[in-house]
């Protein structure tokens, strides 16, 4: 049968597929930093060229930010929309990398080979699992088993400012029977998973200004208000002593977890001590009355992602600074309105400003949570296909990360999304020494071949 031939072709072509991924990983397509804009263009060009090599009509499409890559291939069967992103997180702190982040390589490890480099797992390696599955299908059968639209974004790591306008302008072109999103992971690094619950994300930056210039803390200390003191007080107030977020109305409208879902999650036997132990921690830090999987998947959070003020170089400087700032993000769940919470957070901050201080806010994006219905037949077909490829049967799970694209596909295109990915928990995405297991890459490609076959 042709699926076996496709799977064999995938196995044979792994060295070439790996070399192609390494090429893409060498491009430092950091979307959040304007200094890397040309590299984002280069990554998009590379993908256009690679899709064209597969005989797919692909092109780079300009946006006010980094370009989209869109490619179409005709076919029978259902129309699939495949999404991935070619942009990556900044690589700092550079001194913690054991090799240059954009000089990727295959490395042996006691747990098997890994592909090491920024973006290996998030999301270039994942994106390429689907492209390589299509390549093998085409090589063996001369065509793809479904009509497919490829859609790659270059702003996922920087709030996707161009995404919604682009979807709205190209709704007819992009609408499909089902969307496939490859930006998630295996559950507990071993169970293939289809994510059916995603948290949203609200990003805010606040800058507190006190005096109109940096002051000498000896001349002014004790009399002049220090904006770091004000910022620390505000950020400290964000959580109460039970780990709950203290912004008024923050939990309004959040439904309790469905009993069936709660039972399924209990069956996953999540080992939170091991999960935290891998990163040097032991104690759940969220709401004291929630289970660890709820903290990660179905309960909202507030986190400070960055803070800066005063002198932070070597040595000491007795400065009383004019400004202090923080980047704060909220992971949102079903029932929470991002824009209402943005306003509530800003009011929470203003309520804590002493009369001498002012605050400026920068909007770093807002997206609501998504909850998918698993009633559509494609979900069960994909779950069976994944279960055939991997040692353990596939599960429906939640994800603490924010992948707003699923909500946008639903709301703008009317297309339901299946989120399937092969990352592992120790991939160190967004961290130094990011990697993607060769097993993830290899079985990921084979998984997509099986899913394409099942959906055709």
- Kindly identify the residues of this chain, within the stretch 360-419, that bind its own copies according to CB under 8 A: 364-365, 399-402
- In sequence order, the 6+-apart residues with CB closer than 8 A to the CB of 280 are none
Q: Assign 445 to helix, strand or coil.
A: helix
Residue 404 sits at the vertex; the CA angle it makes with 399 and 406, to the nearest 5 degrees, is 80
Task: Fill in the per-residue mask, 164 to 203: x = in contact with its own copies (CB under 8 A), - = not in contact.
Answer: -----------------------------------x-x-x
Applying CB under 8 A, the span of 8-16, 44-52, 233-241, 247-255 interacting with its own copies comes to 233-241
Applying CB under 8 A, the span of 68-76, 254-262, 353-361, 378-386 interacting with its own copies comes to 353-361
Select from 5, 100, 164, 224 the one that contacts its own copies (CB under 8 A): 224
Whichever of 144 and 397 has its CB closer to its own copies, that residue is: 397
Q: E strand or H helix at 131, and its extent?
A: helix 125-141
Q: Does 238 bind its own copies (CB under 8 A)?
A: yes
For residues 228 and 185, give the distance between their C-alpha atoms in angstroms, rounded to a whole number. 38
Applying CB under 8 A, the span of 19-27, 136-144, 228-236, 342-350 interacting with its own copies comes to 228-236
Whichever of 229 and 346 has its CB closer to its own copies, that residue is: 229
Q: Does 233 bind its own copies (CB under 8 A)?
A: yes
Minimum Å gap between C-beta 359 and its own copies is: 14
CB atoms within 10 A of CB 331: 22
- CB-CB contact of 448 with 3 (8 Å): no
Minimum Å gap between C-beta 373 and its own copies is: 22
Q: Assign 54 to helix, strand or coil.
A: coil
Query: What b/e string do you get for 68-80 counting C-beta neighbours within 10 Å, with b at 16 or more?
Result: bbbbbbeeeeebb
**CA distances (Å), 245 to each of 41, 299, 324, in order?**
40, 11, 22
Q: Does 307 bind its own copies (CB under 8 A)?
A: yes
Supply the DSSP symbol for 184.
Answer: -
Applying CB under 8 A, the span of 17-25, 62-70, 350-358, 376-384 interacting with its own copies comes to 350-358
Whichever of 128 and 195 has its CB closer to its own copies, that residue is: 195
Q: Assign 334 to helix, strand or coil.
A: coil
Torsion of CA 24, 28, 30, 36, to 10 degrees: -130
Report the length, in residues, of the chain.
456
- What tokens were used for 3? 């699926």
Nearest partner of 38 among 109, 87, 103, judged by Cα: 87
Whichever of 109 and 318 has its CB closer to its own copies, that residue is: 318
Select from 119, 125, 145, 159 the one that contacts its own copies (CB under 8 A): 159
- CB-CB contact of 151 with 83 (8 Å): yes
Select from 42, 60, 175, 220 the one that contacts its own copies (CB under 8 A): 220
Minimum Å gap between C-beta 430 and its own copies is: 4
- CB-CB contact of 413 with 171 (8 Å): yes
Q: E strand or H helix at 195, and its extent?
A: strand 193-198
Segment 89 to 148, residues that bind its own copies, using CB under 8 A: 89-90, 92-93, 96
Q: Does 304 bind its own copies (CB under 8 A)?
A: yes
Whichever of 145 and 159 has its CB closer to its own copies, that residue is: 159
Select from 1, 98, 108, 213 the one that contacts its own copies (CB under 8 A): 213
Applying CB under 8 A, the span of 103-111, 309-317, 342-350, 384-392 interacting with its own copies comes to 309-317
- CB-CB contact of 454 with 7 (8 Å): no
Applying CB under 8 A, the span of 7-15, 130-138, 170-178, 298-306 interacting with its own copies comes to 298-306
Q: Does 425 bind its own copies (CB under 8 A)?
A: yes
**CA distances (Å), 290 to each of 99, 253, 294, 299, in order?**
39, 17, 6, 8
Beta-bridge mates of residue 68: 61
Select from 60, 77, 275, 410 the one that contacts its own copies (CB under 8 A): 275
Select from 279, 288, 339, 343 the one that contacts its own copies (CB under 8 A): 279
Select from 113, 177, 237, 388 the one that contacts its own copies (CB under 8 A): 237
Supply the DSSP symbol for 36.
Answer: G
To which residue do tokens 């779950």 refer? 383
Segment 10 to 39, residues that bind its own copies, using CB under 8 A: 32-34
């Amino acid at each position: 049968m042709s699926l076996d031939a496709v799977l064999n072709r995938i196995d044979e072509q792994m060295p070439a597929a790996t070399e192609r991924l390494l090429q893409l990983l060498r491009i430092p397509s950091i979307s959040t930093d304007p200094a890397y804009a040309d590299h984002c263009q280069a990554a998009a060009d590379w993908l256009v060229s690679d899709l064209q090599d597969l005989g797919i009509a692909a092109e780079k499409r300009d946006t006010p930010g980094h370009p989209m890559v869109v490619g179409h291939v005709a076919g029978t069967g259902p129309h699939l929309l495949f999404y991935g992103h070619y942009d990556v997180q900044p690589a700092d702190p550079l001194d913690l990398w054991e090799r240059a982040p954009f000089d990727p390589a295959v490395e042996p490890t006691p747990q098997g080979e890994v592909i090491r480099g920024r973006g290996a797992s998030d999301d270039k390696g994942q994106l390429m699992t689907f492209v390589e599955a299509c390549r093998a299908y085409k090589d063996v059968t001369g065509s793809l088993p479904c009509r497919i639209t490829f859609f790659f974004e270059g702003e996922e790591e920087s709030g996707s400012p161009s995404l919604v306008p682009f979807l709205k302008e190209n709704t007819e072109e992009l609408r499909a029977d089902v969307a496939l999103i490859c930006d998630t992971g295996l559950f507990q690094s071993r169970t293939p998973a289809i994510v059916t619950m995603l948290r949203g994300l609200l990003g805010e930056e606040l800058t507190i200004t006190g005096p109109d210039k940096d002051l000498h803390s000896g001349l002014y200390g004790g009399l002049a208000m220090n904006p770091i003191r004000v910022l620390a007080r505000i950020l400290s107030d964000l959580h109460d002593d039970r780990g709950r977020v203290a912004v008024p109305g923050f939990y309004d409208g959040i439904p309790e977890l469905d009993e069936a879902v709660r039972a399924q999650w209990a069956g996953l036997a999540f080992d939170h001590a091991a999960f935290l132990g891998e990163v040097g921690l032991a104690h759940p830090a969220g709401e004291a009355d929630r289970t660890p999987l709820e903290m990660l998947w179905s309960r909202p959070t507030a986190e400070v992602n960055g803070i800066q003020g005063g002198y932070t170089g070597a040595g000491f400087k007795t400065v009383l600074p004019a400004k202090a700032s923080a980047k704060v993000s909220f992971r949102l769940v079903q029932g929470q309105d991002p824009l209402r919470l943005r306003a509530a957070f800003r009011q929470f901050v203003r309520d804590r400003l002493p009369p001498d201080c002012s605050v400026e806010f920068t909007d770093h994006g807002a997206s609501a949570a998504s909850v998918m219905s698993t009633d559509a037949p494609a979900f069960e077909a994909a779950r069976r296909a994944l279960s055939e490829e991997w040692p353990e049967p596939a599960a429906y799970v939640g994800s603490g990360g924010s992948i707003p694209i699923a909500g946008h596909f639903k709301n703008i295109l009317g297309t339901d999304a299946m989120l399937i990915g092969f990352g592992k928990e120790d991939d160190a995405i967004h961290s130094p020494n990011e990697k993607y297991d060769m097993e993830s890459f290899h079985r990921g490609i084979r998984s997509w071949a099986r899913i394409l076959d099942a959906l055709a």
